[in-house]
Structure 1
Amino acid sequence: MADYEKEIRALVEGWARAVHDGDLETVLAAHADDIVMFDVPPPHRGVRGLAAYRETWPAFFEWQRQGAVFDIESLDVTAGADVAFAFALLRCGTPEEFAEAPDRRLRLTLGLRRDDGRWVVAHEHHSFAIT
């Protein structure tokens, strides 16, 4: 199972780099066609399917180009043979937001499954603690 954990860690770290770089195709690459994502901005009922997931990223990339960061601070992975989950804390915000709330972190939880011998993200959840 340790190899699965390494594979998933590499997948998540590569995804975060792609988000940071604004590389949409790489952001989408390891996601299931039936992905379900609950994100910070609306819609609050989440998005379902890869096409809807794709539509959420351009606005985020635009915001990020204004100086925001998206960096993994900690990442934990638990993997079985066919399913796994990962959770992480990320620095996600602008310098102004961090000046106002230096300890603010984005919480990320991923549910993954093996499809045709490869790991894919089937569930993604982003949140900030209410302060």
Structure 2
Amino acid sequence: MSTGDHDDIKALLRDWMAALRAKDADGIIRCQSVTVRQFSLAPPLQETGNDTSSLQAWLDSWDGPLEFDIRDTDLRLGGDIAWCSALAWLSGIKNDGQKIGFWFRLTIAFAREDGRWLIVHIHESVPLAMEGQPLAIFDLQP
């Protein structure tokens, strides 16, 4: 691991977050491997690869820019593989006027492909109540 690799991955993560805030599907996808595997909060259970039209449709379901930030990051590198775990904040206003904002858990894996760091895996989750309804818990604070 070199300081340069660490800095390159942090820059990639900043670019990915900036593209998400700007609702720029192409910018998000430029940060990801063509074989990225995603376990996102929304269905389906998993996705592989980049689907620009589906991603842009989700981004377009928000009115105005998105707020997205991460904190409590733990970035670890080893050779051509790295991972980062963090708490993430997402908020904005849906097109129907509904205001949404919540914290979730985020893990991102990176790999060096053709000499460039890319996101190869994204896992998002929220804690689940083990009893009662609703099961997903969206009101926890770090």
The answer as to 2:108 corresponding to 1:107 is: no
Q: Distance in 2 between matches of 1:74 and 1:55?
A: 32
The equivalent of 2:96 in structure 1 is: none
Rounded Cα–Cα distance in structure 2 between residues aligned with 1:78 and 1:55:
32
Give the aligned length.
123
In structure 1, C-alpha distance between the alignment counterparts of 2:27 and 2:47, rounded to whole Å: 19
Q: Which portions of structure 1, spanning 4 or more consecutive aligned residues, are displaced by more than 4 angstroms?
A: none
Which residue pairs with 1:49 in the alignment? 49
The structure richer in strand per residue is 2
**Distance in 2 (alpha carbons) for counterparts of 1:67 and 1:118:** 29
Following TM superposition, by how much is the alpha carbon of 1:66 offset from its aligned partner in structure 2, in angstroms? Answer: 5.4
Give % identity. Answer: 26
The structure, 1 or 2, with the larger RCO (C-alpha pairs under 8 Å, 6+ apart) is: 1
Deviations 1:53-101 (A, max 9, x none): x344223312332565222234321112210001222211247444xxx
Q: Which runs of 5+ in 1 are unaligned?
A: 99-103
Question: Which deviates more from structure 2 when the two are superposed, residues 25-34 or residues 65-74?
Answer: 65-74
Per-residue deviation, 1:38: 0.8
Q: TM-score, normalised by structure 1?
A: 0.80
5+ unaligned residues in a row in structure 2: which ranges? Answer: 94-98, 129-136, 138-142
User: CA 1:109–1:28 in 2, change beyond 3 Å: closer, same or farther?
Assistant: same
Q: 1:123 aligns with which of 121, 124, 132?
A: 121
Q: Are residues 56 and 14 of structure 1, via their aligned partners in 2, closer, same or farther at CA, if it must alter by over 3 Å? A: same
1:123 deviates by 0.8
CA-based RMSD of the aligned residues comes to 2.0
Q: Distance in 2 between matches of 1:21 and 1:97?
A: 17
Query: Which runs of structure 2 are paired with 1:79-90 in the superposition (5 Å)?
Result: 79-90=77-88
With the length of structure 2 as denominator, give the TM-score of the two structures: 0.75
- CA contact under 8 A between 2:21 and 2:65: conserved in structure 1? no
Which residue, 62, 65, 82 being the options, matches 2:63?
A: 65
SS class of match (2:60): helix
**Is 1:92 matched up with 2:90?**
yes
Shift of the 42–85 alpha-carbon distance from structure 1 to 2, 3 Å rule, reads: same
